[in-house]
Structure 1
Amino acid sequence: MSIQKISIIGLPMDLGQARRGVDMGPSAIRCAGIVERLERLKIEVEDLGDIVVGRPENAQKSGTNLKNLSLVAKGNIQLATRVDKIIQGGSFPLVLGGDHSIAIGTLAGVSKHYENVGVIWYDAHGDLNTEETSPSGNIHGMPLAVSMGLGHPDLVNIHGSTSKVKPENIVIIGARSLDEGEKELIREKGIKVFTMHEIDRMGMARVMEECIDYLRERTDGVHLSLDLDGVDPADAPGVGTPVIGGISYRESHLAMEMLAESELITSAEFVEVNPILDERNKTAIVAVALMGSLFGEKLV
């Protein structure tokens, strides 16, 4: 699809995990010049600001080991409604995080508009844990499972039916840190995964070709969920859960450029930029550069 208008919405939430600072991610990305970058591409840009998120001290006890469940659910309910409205208005939703738990709301809003929404999960992690398999209780490690209808009812029932995406419509790219429960779920559900082993062995160009071909034949819209920890921490140090041996800066640009050429992506989010852990806003600058490539920026 040719993108005429992009609507930016931020969810500055750090409640899906334990490290503070990722709530400043949307501000860091704006400071790195995302609006100006997209406007230079002759795309109409509407910045809708940020959703207001409460603090944990105001949260009720949830009776589960899931951290900040009620506030995470509340933030995602608001995000789902906003994303749904953006798409209804004919605009492309670009969501800025915040930790990766915000993908629950993004996909809930997006899924209302597609029969078979596809998901590219660009991440060092699978985020396929549930309350039973999670070692930490951090909800940012659960959004993909939740979006498949697996998890706490307060999360899976956000904005409608429990399952937002079918497992066969998911492609994970860049995985290199998976818990045992996640590995089991990947095998059980037949989720397509390109680990760093496949990227090293096949090359990013072939990985993206296979990903694009796979999703094109089975989906009617594709959401890109890009966690900056998918990129190697040498290039993107400002993330809460860095894992060495990741996708390079240049490989990531190639991936985004190929997605732009495919015209397959219908919504996107960039998450887990943590300025407190960063070096001179380096990770937010990388995020903005990758967004430029995703939306058609070319050298010549």
Structure 2
Amino acid sequence: MQIIDTQTLLEVILNILVYPGLLFAFIMGSLFWWEFRKLRARFQSRVGPPWYQTFADLIKLFAKETIIPAISNKFLFVFAPILALASALVVLWLLPIPVSILPAISIFNLSFYGDLILVIYLLAMIEAAEILAGFSSSSPYGVIGSSRKVNLVIAYELPFALATIAVAFHVSSLRLSDIFTYQILNGPFILDVPTGSSFAFLAPIFHLITFIVFIMCILPKLRIKPFDMPEAECEIIAGPLTEYSGRLLGLFELTHVLKWFIIPALTVILFFGGDLTIVTFLIKCALVVLLFTFLEVINPRYRIDQGYKFYFKYILPLAIIAFIGETAFALGVI
């Protein structure tokens, strides 16, 4: 039986809770969300919030009283934000994050073979928790918001899974750390061209399609236009979270902050990886957030039926094409 010494155990705990774990992800997620809000405001000729706005909002929420509606399902109402935060934390700890400031192959994660599948499920679980929150509140606004989110999740989760697994098939591994290491050796996935194939010129096209599908499917996870229909404030206030307040709303907002680190980080790991330093990794994440901001400001909000049709008419066929193409290259068929 292998015994873990105290120093090693302490290092693991610090990595999980401080760097590059919870505290680091919270700080960077807050800054990335601020970057998004600030740039969006500038694009719209507004001033935007100060850098500490996210921290102030969370402090205020956790200091306020939590009110649970009398007509709600109290157990599910309280359980939903806990489920969302727990799912986000597990995803965070599975991501292979470079920890060195100087160039070195040094990453921290708790990965195992097949963890990519778990990440897909856990990201969907966060959405399921918000759906559960709206239905359990028994509020008309919450129920309508959850109904919209159900329709949207049904539409985008399959193409999201196909695009994500297509990257794994190209690398021949369902382990995130293997995908990360592959790109250290071969360069970013988005630029990777297989050798020994007569159709190698098609690879960048399939990579680009995979990336486009992935981006279109993660926009609703971050409540970004044109797919923010479940939280349309001018129509249904805060959607599924309308009846939440105090610490329970704070847990949902903390989850959202962590997602602003998790999703840009996952995008970089899958498509622009190969980073040997945390500095280059964070720069790439910031550029991904810039892309999200650009898509937010150039798009209006879709109606729920428009979003539903968009995914099934355009994104799902593209996801199938990308999946078949990446699989064919991985198997050496083309």
Q: Does the TM-score normalized on the shorter chain lie above 0.5? A: no
Larger CA Rg, structure 1 vs 2: 2
Identify the structure with the greater strand proportion: 1
User: TM-score range, shorter-chain basis?
Assistant: 0.3 to 0.5
Identify the structure with the greater helix proportion: 2
Question: Larger relative CO (CA 8 A, sep 6+): 1 or 2?
Answer: 2
When normalised by structure 2's length, the TM-score is 0.31
